Structure 1
Amino acid sequence: MWKLALSELKLHPRRYVAVLLAILLGTMFLAGSLLVTSSAKESTKQMLGATYANADLLITAETPPDPESDFYDLAGTVEQSGSLTEINGVEEVYPLMNAATAMVLPEGSDKQGTFDPDSDFVYATNRPADASLLATPMTDGELPTADDEITVDTESAERHDLAVGDTVTLRTLADEAEQDVTVSGIMDQSMDPTVVGAMTIYTTVETLGELGGDSPTYDTALLRVDGDIDQVITDIQQALNATGVPATVNTPDVQISEQLVDMMGFDAITVVLGGFSAIALLVMMLVINNTFSVLVAQRTRQYALQRVLGATRGQIRKGVLAESVLIGLIGSITGIALAIGLIFGLLAVAQQWMSGATFGVDLSILWVLLAGVVITVVASWLPASQAMRVSPLEAMRPVPASTMGSKAGKLRLVLGSLMLLAGGAALVFFAAAGLVGMAIVAGAVSFIGVLALGVLFVPGAVYALGGLTRWTGIPGKMAQLNSVRNRSRTAATATALIVGTTLVAMILTGGRTAQDSTDEMLATNYPVDIYAELADIDPADTAQVNSTTEALAETAGIADAEALYPVGSIDESWSEQVMTADPEHLAGISDSVSDDDAQALEETGTVLVPEHHESNTLTVTTADGEVELDVVRSDLSSVTPIVSAETAEQLSMDVTGMAVVWLSVADEDISQADLQEIVTNMVADTEVSSQDVSSPLVLRSMYQQAIDAVMLTVIGLLGISVLIAFVGVANTLALSSLERTRENSLMRALGLTKRGLRSMLMWEAVLISAVGAILGSVLGMLYGWAGSVAIFSQISSGGVDITWPWLEVSGVIAVAVIAGLIASVAPSRRAAKMSPVEGLEAD
């Protein structure tokens, strides 16, 4: 069996090129999908979970614990370690404590401090016993081992001109006591969203206690585990529950998923990329099966001859099995290796502007090898078994194509129709219900039904479109007739493009919708680039507020600024105060105020509210009593209640509370270092403290970068799917040309020129490619619509706004037609070069 298989591979290597390419590209596609999933999770963990990415487990309090909470008895304090260290399997519990402090600028520095004139505001964090718990890598030196040592980040080192061994002065914020410490090491700047834009240092726990005054409070602890993680999770959770501490214990991956769920309303990475991997598996099965079926069908006569010479069915099956195992192993291993190289390369390029993009691979990649071999065996086994069911004499004859009237055609029609109708109906139902997993299964069933019916309707569609080519003369007319003369061949050629363009159009539709939807969600959660609270300025002193706002706006890197004054309070769960400002100005600064909102707020007696506010009025409490305002309902789920200055003035609303300045930066892709410089300059030029300035911009960009990293790697997968389609068209056209060698030569003998023969094959490829691309694009947009509804209906009560990528899909169709045209070049040239006499002699 193995000898026969090896001899076939050695004697006819070119025969297996098409199958090898199909397996290689199919496994590359599936492996790429899994690598995208693992890399996206790893990138997200590095960007959003920078603090705990390297921990085995982390404990998070549901609410900030009060100083007397039992949470600290379990996780530990500055003075002593917690009781969780006594649990079997727990090596270290690292309480993640922070304390605000100041770092004195070097003597003679020309820089302005961010805390006071001669010192910078920094976050101090205690170091763990196990340095590997920190996700931020060291660039020089080591973590502090003595109380008079600290580790600084690269931003601090550059700003204070520090190197390992230098001395720097720290100043406590409470009593301004100073102490000199030695720099023991330098580490990369943290991507931790909670300290974004701020300088950070690491100290011993004792030094942190001195800097923080009272024992620092915290709500997160990291754990290093040596043992059964599941058992440790159970034991820790029981200890938390026994003391009544509202906290949870998770792995970093689970914590990241929950963090994304809190932000987006669903586990985007697992849902989207898990579904994408399932689709990739389906694509792989269809492409390999289609290509292998054509190859095995071409060898029907060979199998029949072996049967005549005495070979049994079992022997032939074993030979086919051995061939498929060998070719499956070769193609799968090569495909996995190429996928690893492709995704690694894409992420290496992405790191030039997305520092958090990280390559990730896990053991699930081995399933791709198994899937490639199994699918190859099944793809070769079924056609070979079908060919061997007939007698050797019948197998010597060509197998008629399936038609509407044949038994095979009727069975295909019934089964395909059932799968299409049942799967389509289930897809719509599950999508509307938000059941993503079931919607994917239903979509796969309906798509298989479409492909099963392809042999029945694709040739007719090609023939109808072929009416446009009849004006070209004989080549165009012959191309149109050939599309329906061998329906199976036409459908097989179009199937590759239907699969590829369906996937591309689906991802384009879902991706564009996802980007627009996530933009809206990010705008809801992080609507302003920078907030500056004017805590030390009386909001009634409009002159000082305005002058401070102007000074903030003049900071290099700031595009615009607007001050918001508190004018009243409300008793709502989504806000406590009503602010006043110029709505039109705010619309240019914040995504939370649209141009329509600004125009509506021009009417006196109106107030901006979120979309979920049901009442048509809002009760605002002022110093003069309660006032009823008509609502202007925003499209966002979370907004600051805003009224115009005219409304505030005419209703005699009193200024009570604290004024806030909203600022927008000139460059939304600004780095953390540049953002820190802007904040530093803002603090230096105004009376605003660095503690009163916060910037959601970088946090928002981190979420956006995580999404962009996913989309970037998906682009690589889409490129593979287009290549799969191209190879599929080229393979089937080449086989079709070989099948029709005598027919083409006969037409040449009857007067058809070489140019006419090439034109005929070219038009046939263009027609089939165009129909496959158009049908695939329509199907893809429908599946993209269903997937978007299934995913985003979970987080949007007002329905899902689908973004239809008409321009991109038109480009996909054009590229597919061009790809079909290019794929026809080699077969048409080969057919035209052969002389009519030589072709008529061919078997």
Structure 2
Amino acid sequence: MSGPGGGAPIPHERPFRATRLRERAVRAVGHRPGGGRGGGRAAAGALLADARRHPGRVVLTGLAVLVATFFAAGTLLLGGTLSTTLQARSVVTPAAAAAVVRGGDLDAAVVDRVARTPGVTAAVGVWTGTAPVGGAAGVGSWTVTSDPMTGPLTRLAAPPVAGRLPTADDEALVPAATAARADVHPGSVLTVGGAGDATRTLTVTGVVDLPVVGTDTIVTTPATVAALGGTLRQIDVAGGAPAAVASAVRARLPGDVVVRTGDEQRAAERRDGSATATAVVTGVSVFTGLALVAAVVVVASTFRILLTQRRTQLALLRCVGARSGDLVRAVLAEAAVSGLVAGVLGAGLAIGAGEIVVAVVGGGPLVVSWGGTAGCVLLAVVATVVAAVGPALAAGRTSPVAALGEAATSEAGTSRRGRRAVLATVLLVVALALAAPPLAGVADGAVGLVAAAASGLVTFAALVALGPVMMSGLAATVGRLVTAVGRAPGRMAVANAAQVPRRTAATVTVLTLGVGLTSALLVGVASADSSAQRSISQRLPSAVQVSAPDPDATLARLAAEPSLRVRQDGDAVLVDPAPGVDDAALRAAVGDALGPRSAAVVVYTADVRADATAELGVLRGVGLGLVGMTVVVAIVGVAVTLTLSVTERTRETGLLRAVGLTRGGVRAMVAWEAACSALAAAVLGAGLGVLYGVLGIRALGLAAGGVSVPVGQLVGLAVGVVAIAVLAALGPAVRAGRVPPIRALAA
């Protein structure tokens, strides 16, 4: 039985308890005083048997690795599926093209010469260009591309979704995205400006489903695009045997013209699509690697907690013959099992999620590389074993005498402060050396960015080394705020965090990595946006810029509108709204002044700003999604650490309940403990993130217009991280609140 108040056991009881525990260990291990291989195998068997009896422990140990494996396998699936999809979309040369002609000085005469080549049944030029478009769509500059519309060399994979195919040179198609943006439909009339003063009036006859992104496009006949001053990019050639057709065409053309078989051209287009997918996946893999690093830190902390809680069991194994090396190998074997389970579950979840995403968004089938998936599982095992090396070595140093008592069974205290400080100092010097070239402007572009990223990783390593030492200052900084707001539960939370500095440091450092990456991204995007807006203001000094072949006449027409203020700047006419004129009235006035058949190119500054903001918004969203992997792993680490901490402090919690702390107070204590770690990580991560965000901007040469620090977004990030950490602590807090006071009296 326990002593009064749930304290240490009554002295005469301890030998009996140690005897019972030793008997259980002997039954599990088998008494082999000499140790050796038998003791090692038996120790591993005992620990693995304990893992089977407590599967939740295995799940908690590998939960962070499970999440990281999910992202790693997801990246692999993304790469394979994206590569296949992009390859399919990148192949634009028709399957019927036996040969293609590219490069050199191509024109309509070359198309005729190729068409008259023996063995050639058809030759079609692929013309593209850019032209100002007016009429029903308003005014602006569109992409104009050609297609024969019918025959084996058409690039239209499906009939129009509305209307019909053009049958004359004064007719055209528009993609569905263009039709929606510009409010164009079959029957609309477009005025297209060509080379010089040439213009063409085209009637839209149909809407087609083409993968055109971001650019308004017209598809019309090759003759029309050629007349509008387009460029002949390629000649598709149909005929007999591809090699024979290519050879015959090559013999009739100058040496600077490149002739390929259709298969060669389609393979080149397929490679281009694959290269794009590879670049995307490489970028995603970098952030997946950071998430895996975060998972290793979390798993190392988790193993340390679990092995500390099992200190008596490890000591008993030493008593019955297990050597120090036996325990190390047994712990690593348990880590391998945990990593294997987490890896298989993570990969399986990634495949399931991939199937759901493909089914929802459409596209090609999910491409699963079973060899790559097995590699992800192996990586999970290796990462978990690596994370367990430090805790395993500490477990191997467990003294057999620890089986006779329960003292020193926590992570309280910090060891080797001097060594940690020296290591952290060395790492910080290396980080400063790496940051110096981009900071001084000596290294820029990709080299500077790599140097900045390497400096950030070394700084994170220094933070991991110095973390337990830094936790002593937690109570004096962030802890004061938590104590002031949280009162008694807050004070106890700060005390709990400071009592286990290594555990708290692991949580804080991983959260700091996620917050730092996010902060750096926000600073980079804000600075790029500020630079882009400044550049737009310099290039487009008015609300509207109109470029026309006859600027004087255009100026006169626009000046006749009383709601406009106009001036001329070279060949461009600059237009601003009169006082009290809103954007809609401004656009209507410009359209009325120019007329429906104007060949003028009109640029609205507000649209350019909106496009730039939208592009940066997409960049911000993608970046946040990538760094979110690390944040998710960090939040999982908070939940796992608090869950194990609550289990470890069951008797302490029961004692607090016995002396009057309510369930709500216990829950608040656990929540404030999570908030304390998250707040420290938010402050530290935001500071480092701003620093490396500025460094990245300088490395990319985007700091000429100054650096913008989005204070509001960073404050929102800090609040969000704290809130999410508190939500992650909800489960452990509820569990802690359910501990009855009687548990303080249990052995």
SS at match of 1:734: helix
Counterpart-to-counterpart distance in 2, 1:75 and 1:696: 40
Counterpart-to-counterpart distance in 1, 2:83 and 2:598: 33
Out of 488, 497, 502, the residue aligned to residue 502 of structure 2 is 488
Aligned 8 A contact 1:114 1:683 in 2: no
* CA distance 1:545–1:837, shift in 2 (3 Å): closer
Counterpart-to-counterpart distance in 1, 2:81 and 2:420: 41
> Alpha-carbon deviation of 1:443?
0.8
Gaps of 5+ in 1: 58-64, 87-91, 104-110, 116-120, 225-239, 260-266, 349-356, 555-559, 567-576, 590-662, 669-674
SS at match of 2:114: coil
1:125 maps to what in 2? Answer: 146
Residues 584-603 of structure 1 deviation map (CA, whole Å, 9 limit, x = unaligned): x49999xxxxxxxxxxxxxx
Aligned 8 A contact 1:493 1:733 in 2: no
> Alpha-carbon deviation of 1:463?
4.5
Counterpart-to-counterpart distance in 1, 2:612 and 2:697: 19
Give the alignment of 1:247-326 within 5 angstroms: 276-277=287-288, 279-299=290-310, 301-305=312-316, 312-313=326-327, 314=329, 317-326=332-341
Gaps of 5+ in 2: 1-40, 95-101, 238-252, 259-264
Counterpart-to-counterpart distance in 2, 1:505 and 1:808: 9
* CA distance 1:546–1:759, shift in 2 (3 Å): same
Counterpart-to-counterpart distance in 2, 1:82 and 1:274: 51
Counterpart-to-counterpart distance in 2, 1:588 and 1:271: 51
1:439 maps to what in 2? Answer: 452
* CA distance 1:190–1:399, shift in 2 (3 Å): closer
1:833 maps to what in 2? Answer: 738
> Do structure 1's residue 414 and structure 2's residue 422 form an aligned pair?
yes
Residues 587-630 of structure 1 deviation map (CA, whole Å, 9 limit, x = unaligned): 999xxxxxxxxxxxxxxxxxxxxxxxxxxxxxxxxxxxxxxxxx
Residues 177-223 of structure 1 deviation map (CA, whole Å, 9 limit, x = unaligned): 9999997x741377477xx556x2344xxxx34x4677975153388
Aligned 8 A contact 2:639 2:729 in 1: yes
> Do structure 1's residue 727 and structure 2's residue 636 form an aligned pair?
yes
* CA distance 1:315–1:777, shift in 2 (3 Å): closer
> Alpha-carbon deviation of 1:450?
0.9
Report which stretch shifted further, 125-134 or 762-771.
Answer: 125-134
The one-letter amino acid paired with 1:516 is: S
Give the alignment of 1:453-492 within 5 angstroms: 453-467=466-480, 475-492=489-506
Residues 482-532 of structure 1 deviation map (CA, whole Å, 9 limit, x = unaligned): 333332233234334323322332222223223333444566677778653
* CA distance 1:294–1:470, shift in 2 (3 Å): closer
Aligned 8 A contact 2:555 2:568 in 1: no
* CA distance 1:417–1:689, shift in 2 (3 Å): same
Counterpart-to-counterpart distance in 1, 2:159 and 2:50: 54
> Do structure 1's residue 779 and structure 2's residue 684 form an aligned pair?
no
Give the alignment of 1:147-296 within 5 angstroms: 153=175, 161=186, 186-188=207-209, 191=212, 196-197=215-216, 200-203=218-221, 208-209=222-223, 211=224, 218=231, 220-221=233-234, 243=256, 276-277=287-288, 279-296=290-307
1:139 maps to what in 2? Answer: 161
The one-letter amino acid paired with 1:497 is: L
Counterpart-to-counterpart distance in 2, 1:218 and 1:745: 81
* CA distance 1:187–1:838, shift in 2 (3 Å): same
1:745 maps to what in 2? Answer: 654
SS at match of 2:474: helix
1:634 maps to what in 2? Answer: none
SS at match of 1:804: coil
Out of 17, 23, 26, the residue aligned to residue 68 of structure 2 is 26
Out of 375, 383, 387, the residue aligned to residue 375 of structure 1 is 383
Counterpart-to-counterpart distance in 2, 1:466 and 1:102: 63
1:72 maps to what in 2? Answer: 106
* CA distance 1:399–1:513, shift in 2 (3 Å): farther
> Do structure 1's residue 810 and structure 2's residue 715 form an aligned pair?
yes
> Do structure 1's residue 545 and structure 2's residue 555 form an aligned pair?
yes
The one-letter amino acid paired with 1:201 is: V
> Alpha-carbon deviation of 1:456?
0.6
The one-letter amino acid paired with 2:429 is: L
Aligned 8 A contact 2:193 2:599 in 1: no
The one-letter amino acid paired with 1:815 is: G
Report which stretch shifted further, 681-690 or 6-15.
Answer: 681-690
2:511 maps to what in 1? Answer: 497
Counterpart-to-counterpart distance in 2, 1:79 and 1:283: 63
Give the alignment of 1:446-595 within 5 angstroms: 446-467=459-480, 475-521=489-535, 531-536=545-550, 539=552, 545-550=555-560, 562-564=566-568, 566=570, 585=576
Aligned 8 A contact 1:459 1:484 in 2: yes
Counterpart-to-counterpart distance in 2, 1:667 and 1:716: 39
* CA distance 1:549–1:766, shift in 2 (3 Å): same
Aligned 8 A contact 2:653 2:739 in 1: no
Aligned 8 A contact 2:438 2:698 in 1: no
Counterpart-to-counterpart distance in 1, 2:546 and 2:516: 48
Counterpart-to-counterpart distance in 2, 1:125 and 1:586: 38
1:236 maps to what in 2? Answer: none
> Alpha-carbon deviation of 1:735?
1.7
Counterpart-to-counterpart distance in 2, 1:816 and 1:517: 28
Identity %: 26
The one-letter amino acid paired with 1:732 is: T
* CA distance 1:295–1:547, shift in 2 (3 Å): same
2:601 maps to what in 1? Answer: 693
Q: How many residues align?
A: 654
Aligned 8 A contact 1:766 1:821 in 2: yes
* CA distance 1:7–1:831, shift in 2 (3 Å): same
* CA distance 1:9–1:743, shift in 2 (3 Å): closer
Aligned 8 A contact 2:318 2:400 in 1: yes
SS at match of 2:391: helix
Aligned 8 A contact 1:729 1:823 in 2: yes
* CA distance 1:763–1:318, shift in 2 (3 Å): closer
SS at match of 2:146: strand
| Bigger helix share | 2
Residues 280-337 of structure 1 deviation map (CA, whole Å, 9 limit, x = unaligned): 4443443444445444554455455556566745455434323321222213432565
Aligned 8 A contact 1:528 1:664 in 2: no
> Alpha-carbon deviation of 1:725?
3.5
The one-letter amino acid paired with 1:505 is: S
Aligned 8 A contact 1:420 1:447 in 2: no
Aligned 8 A contact 2:312 2:402 in 1: no
- TM-score of the two chains, using structure 2 as the length reference: 0.67
The one-letter amino acid paired with 1:737 is: V
2:126 maps to what in 1? Answer: 96
* CA distance 1:516–1:474, shift in 2 (3 Å): closer
Q: Alpha carbon RMSD of aligned pairs, Å?
A: 6.2
